[in-house]
């Protein structure tokens, strides 16, 4: 799994002109799933996201997690995170999982993040044409790949 995590002051996802989900202070997480991903990747990545200390404490030091600041999480599936751009100018998405594999893992990630955060998270809709709006705070953007954790 690949995740792009952005610290935001607000974020929202709109589908067909209707806001599906929105958060105020928190994390916008774009997630890409590949066939090699497992439930273990979901657990590890969720724990990493929820406990990542990238929010400022009273001294202005990034020392607090999204849980510590009672922030929200907006999770958006994004197969393009697995784009291969080595050859030519048209990205290949061969590594991105098809829905039969990706959807169950995406749903497990929703459930796990909700449990780890201790409250419901916002989501997009798998496979939908989504418009994502955010105000990146910092800017702070973190990339995590579960295949590079060792």
d(CA 33, CA 52): 20
Q: Which of 38, 80, 85, 141 is catalytic?
A: 80
Q: Is 44 exposed, middle or buried (0-12, 13-18, 19+ CB in 10 A)?
A: middle
Query: In this structure, is the dihedral angle defined by the CA atoms of residues 19, 124, 81 and 50, taken in order, positive or negative?
Result: positive
Q: Is 14 a catalytic residue?
A: no
Contacts of 48 (CB under 8 A, 6+ apart): 144
Q: What is the set of active-site residues?
A: 80
């Amino acid at each position: 799994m690949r995740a792009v995590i952005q610290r935001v002051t607000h974020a929202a996802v709109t589908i067909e002109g209707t806001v599906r989900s929105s958060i105020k202070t928190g994390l916008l997480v774009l997630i890409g799933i590949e066939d090699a991903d497992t439930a273990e990747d979901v657990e590890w990545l969720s724990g990493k996201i929820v406990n990542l200390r990238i929010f400022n404490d009273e001294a202005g030091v990034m020392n607090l997690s999204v849980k510590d600041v009672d922030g929200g999480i907006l999770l958006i599936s994004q197969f393009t995170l697995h784009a291969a751009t080595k050859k030519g100018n048209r990205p290949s998405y061969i590594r991105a999982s098809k829905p039969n594999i990706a959807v169950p893992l995406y749903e497990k990630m929703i459930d796990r993040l909700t449990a780890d955060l201790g409250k419901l998270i916002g989501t997009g809709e798998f496979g939908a044409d989504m418009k994502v709006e955010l105000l990146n705070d910092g800017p702070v953007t973190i990339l995590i790949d579960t295949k590079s954790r060792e």
